[in-house]
Structure 1
Amino acid sequence: MPRHHETRELPYSDEQMFALVTDIARYPEFLPWIVALRVRSDSEREALADMIVGFKGLRESFSCRVHKERPRAVTVSYIDGPMKHLSNEWHFAPLAAGGCRVDFMVDFSFRNRVFETLAGQMFDKALRKMIAAFEARAGDLYGAGSSISSDGRSESLSG
């Protein structure tokens, strides 16, 4: 049911944003509603993870596969859990002036009517909170004024 697509231009390189998004073991440190996370396997191309999400006393766990195409794309495939389906994609493209464009898409629906109703009511607010959490995490990790290019060089983004 809920589906969202958003594009942002950020002062971080595609490599930095790729690294942040694929560091799923750290999600409980900065993403709201992730109560616990276990990485079952993690390689250069793919990760498998189990996550417990909680909201107002409700908790559900699910498993997903994270496909990685460094540094351009991350695609999350749903394996099992309370969802009917889950699709999540991140695309990163370097900008000529520095930084990168981030395209984010999420599409999901729950099997549980209570979760589906809550998701529908809270979707926009929750999504804004999660996107803000990723941006804040990027700022914490990389600062606001520099990025590392795809070739590993440090670049200044201020003037």
Structure 2
Amino acid sequence: MTRINKKAVVKYSANQMYALVNNIEAYPDFLPWCTGASITSRDSDTLIAVVSISISRIKKVFITQNTMQQDSSISMKLIKGPFKKLNGEWKFQNNSEGGSIVSLNMEFEFKNKLLKY
């Protein structure tokens, strides 16, 4: 299983960073490996996202259920895709010195071991 734990201090507010991460349809505009992204359903605090990725010649689509707490956090849980497991959480916190602290904690495991490489 692969785990990612990243934290960054950025010059943008927690609100701005939350809006960026939650703007799933715009992912292809700034993530070079993302070839498509859409939201198939949305209510006040959850959404279903479909994301298409292409790395080298490998093209995959995965679907997540995202649960949001406005300007504070976004949790992701795999519904369908090339993963055996995919869970993650973004957290956004305003920094007293300006800007914000953004953290991403994610764990995933591919169904096909060859995709790991």
Structure-1-length-normalised TM-score: 0.70
How many residues were matched structurally? 117
Show CA shifts across 1:67-121 (max 9, x none). 11011101111101110001111111111121111111121110012212x2xxx
Provide structure 2 residue ranges, at least 5 long, that are not aligned to the other structure.
none
Higher relative strand content: 2
RMSD over aligned CA atoms reads: 1.1
Q: Which residue matches 1:8?
A: 8
Amino acid at match of 1:106: M
Q: Which has the larger radius of gyration?
A: 1
Query: Following the alignment from structure 2 to structure 1, what is the Cα–Cα distance between the partners of residues 9 and 70?
Result: 18
Q: Which runs of 5+ in 1 are unaligned?
A: 119-159
Could you tell me which residue of structure 2 aligns to residue 24 of structure 1? 24
Shift of 1:32: 2.4
Give % identity. 28
For normalisation by structure 2, the TM-score amounts to 0.93
In terms of fraction of residues, the more helix-rich structure is: 1
Is the CA contact 2:24–2:38 (under 8 Å) kept in the aligned structure 1?
A: no
- Runs of 4 or more consecutive aligned structure 1 residues displaced over 3 Å after TM superposition: none
Matched with 1:49 is 49
Deviation by residue 1:31-69 (Cα, 9 ceiling, x = unmatched): 121111221023331111111111111111111011110
